Amino acid sequence: MHLTLRQLKVFESVARHLNYTRAAEELFLTQPAVSMQVKLLEESLGVALFEQLGKRVHLTEAGREVLGYARAVTQQLDELENVLNRLKGLGGGKLRISVATTANYFIPTLLGTFSRRYPGVTVSLDVTNRESLLQQLSDNTVDLVIMGQPPAELDAEADAFMENPLVIVAPPEHPLANRKKIPLKRLQDEVFLVREPGSGTRIAMERFFAEREMHVKTGMEVGSNEAIKQSVQAGLGLGLLSRATIEQELTLKRLVVLDVAEFPIMRHWYIVHRSGKRLSTVAQAFKTFMLKEARALIDGKTPSPSSSKRRRH
Of 141, 199, 281, 307, the one binding ligand PGA by CB under 6 A: 199
The region of 18-26, 83-91, 143-151, 278-286 touching ligand PGA under the rule CB under 6 A is 143-151
The region of 21-29, 45-53, 195-203, 205-213 touching ligand PGA under the rule CB under 6 A is 195-203
Gyration radius of the chain over CA positions: 22
Decide: is 136 part of the binding site for ligand PGA (CB under 6 A).
Answer: no
Decide: is 85 part of the binding site for ligand PGA (CB under 6 A).
Answer: no
Q: How far is the CB of 178 from ligand PGA (least distance, A)?
A: 28
Q: How far is the CB of 222 from ligand PGA (least distance, A)?
A: 11
Decide: is 150 part of the binding site for ligand PGA (CB under 6 A).
Answer: no
Decide: is 144 part of the binding site for ligand PGA (CB under 6 A).
Answer: no
Q: Which is nearer to ligand PGA, 85 or 201 (CB)?
A: 201
Of 149, 280, 281, 307, the one binding ligand PGA by CB under 6 A: 149
The region of 76-84, 199-207, 229-237, 286-294 touching ligand PGA under the rule CB under 6 A is 199-207
Bond prior to 264 in cis (omega within 30° of 0): yes
For 125-170, give the DSSP string.
Answer: EEEE-HHHHHHHHHHT--SEEEESS--SSS-EEEEEEEEEEEEEEE
- Cα dihedral 22, 27, 30, 36 sign: negative
- Which helix (H) or strand (E) covers residue 183, if one does? none
Q: Are strands 156-170 and 309-312 parallel, antiparallel or unpaired?
A: antiparallel
Is the separation of the CB atoms in 17 and 48 below 8 Å? Answer: no
- Dihedrals φ, ψ of 159, to 5°? -120, 130
Site for ligand PGA, rule CB under 6 A: 100-102, 129-130, 147-149, 195, 199-201
